Structure 1
Amino acid sequence: MLPLCLAVIPWGILCGSLAVQNGFTALETQAMSLLVFAGSAQLVAIELMAGNTPLLTILFTTFIISSRHFLYGLAVRHKVIDQPLRWRLPVSFVLTDELFAFSHHRKAYRTKTRLTYALSAGFSFYIAWNLWTFIGIVAGSLLPDLTTLGLDFAIAATFIALVIPGIKNLATLATVVTAGIVASVLKSQGFELWLVVAALSAMTVGYIISRVISRINSQIHIKQAPKS
């Protein structure tokens, strides 16, 4: 997790400085990172709140942005379902994009040692995020507008670093390419639900291709099987 903790330095600084420069107090800004702990949702919520956006719009938008965590929870559910609630609750709190990217090992979360390892990794990221937010608060109070420095590219760079190593087959590649194309087209057209549509489209394409490949492999296996 250490490289990822360092990779979100610009992201955290941007979040802290953006909030301060949009009228949030230092306490409110830090409390958001302590309680919400969701970088992309925080950045969007800050801009919406600063623009006096209606509460329902803010709630709906952040709900959509954070809905991917529901999928994360489903993906690791079978690994932690047998663990007591005192383990499952903190795991759910620190199950960020970064920790989820490292949760695919078949033995992840299975034992207390592995649970402790996962929580240590997750909370190290939590501490780092709040530290970078604090630095952003200080920087936002002392320096000019930091949003012009392009720090928001750290968001894209972090997700690219998480996604690329996971492309190990055609179905995953198709999922990533579809998500990128659909998101780019819809975003450029000003479509508000571009993120949701892009995610659903990508998952659909990936699922279809994985099923087709699985069927082809099954047919090849049947043809190659020795006849009795």
Structure 2
Amino acid sequence: MSSTLLSQHTYTESKARLFWQGTLAMFPLSVAVLPWGLLAGSFALDAGLNPFESQALSAILFAGSAQLVAIGMMKAGAGLVTMLVTILFITSRHFLYSISMRDKISPLPIRWRLLLGFLLTDELFAICGQQNDKQFNSWYVLGAGLSFYLAWNLATLIGIVAGSLIPQLNQLGLEFAVAATFISIVIPNIKSLSVVAAVLTAIVLSVGLTVIQFGGSLIVASIGAMLAGYVTEKLKGEQI
């Protein structure tokens, strides 16, 4: 009996240790996303949402770029169908993330698959997406994903409170946090020629099309970058 209890205690400690290791690995990105969350909270108030609705947007949708776009479209009076289609396209990259991590997550029970699927973000994929089967551990991923979820919602709450107290908070340049967060995610993963081609194509298209005020610059840049990476990979016969 004592041996069984000792084994269970050791297993519990192992789960807790892996959970906190994931939390620690995600900590730099959790800190980096704080200005982004502040912007999302204050921007939601500015768009006419009440504090409860603003916080629920982060708690339920939990997608920074999609939230900001959705709020902007609400403010502009866009229709529901237009908003849903736009958000679907913006978040479609998560479909690619899920395909990449399918072999690791599919053996898990359904409750784990649903939970980790909800917590899957750009940041979580950057931390755990490249792990091999031996490195991957559901408790580690849970620690990373859940800590980021809590940090995002805390930042949103602070943004809601600050937005109600500080006029024009969303005009203080906090939107640069969006670019800074994605830059910190992308740069460590530039390890092959195909990724370089994708990144350069995305930069050129997004900046160039924005300068000429092309309405679909984000969409065109995303598709162009994926095509550039795919073509480069095929021509060079490399693996991303």
TM-score normalised over the length of structure 1: 0.88
Instruction: Kindly indicate whether the alpha-carbon contact (under 8 Å) linking 1:80 and 1:109 is maintained by their aligned counterparts in 2.
Output: no
**Aligned residue among 31, 42, 66 for 1:17:** 42
Once the two structures are superposed, the pairs formed by residues 99-178 of structure 1 within 5 Å of their partners are: 99-102=124-127, 103-107=129-133, 110=136, 114-178=137-201
SS of the equivalent of 2:52 reads helix
CA distance in 2, matches of 1:119, 1:181: 36
SS of the equivalent of 2:237 reads helix
SS of the equivalent of 1:144 reads coil
Instruction: Kindly indicate whether the alpha-carbon contact (under 8 Å) linking 1:79 and 1:108 is maintained by their aligned counterparts in 2.
Output: no
Instruction: Kindly indicate whether the alpha-carbon contact (under 8 Å) linking 1:109 and 1:118 is maintained by their aligned counterparts in 2.
Output: no
Q: Which moved more, 1:88-97 or 1:42-51?
A: 42-51
Aligned to 1:83: 108
Shift of 1:192: 3.2
The gaps in structure 2 that reach 5 residues or longer are 1-25
Shift of 1:91: 0.8
Aligned amino acid, residue 129 of structure 1? W
CA distance in 1, matches of 2:95, 2:214: 23
Aligned to 2:223: 200
Instruction: Kindly indicate whether the alpha-carbon contact (under 8 Å) linking 1:108 and 1:115 is maintained by their aligned counterparts in 2.
Output: no
Instruction: Kindly indicate whether the alpha-carbon contact (under 8 Å) linking 1:178 and 1:202 is maintained by their aligned counterparts in 2.
Output: yes
Q: Deviations over 1:16-72 (max 9, x none)?
A: 011112211100001111100011111111111122211111111111111111111
Aligned to 1:219: none
1:5 aligns with 2:30: yes
CA distance in 2, matches of 1:7, 1:149: 16
CA distance in 1, matches of 2:70, 2:234: 38
RMSD: 1.5
**Aligned residue among 85, 97, 116 for 2:122:** 97
1:40 aligns with 2:88: no
Q: Deviations over 1:84-127 (max 9, x none)?
A: 211111111111000001120112775xxx10110111010000
Identity, % of aligned positions: 50
TM-score normalised over the length of structure 2: 0.84
CA distance in 1, matches of 2:33, 2:176: 10
In 2 relative to 1, CA 209–124 (structure 1 residues): closer, same or farther, beyond 3 Å?
same
Instruction: Kindly indicate whether the alpha-carbon contact (under 8 Å) linking 1:79 and 1:109 is maintained by their aligned counterparts in 2.
Output: no
CA distance in 2, matches of 1:89, 1:186: 38
Q: Deviations over 1:164-197 (max 9, x none)?
A: 1111121111111011111222233333332222
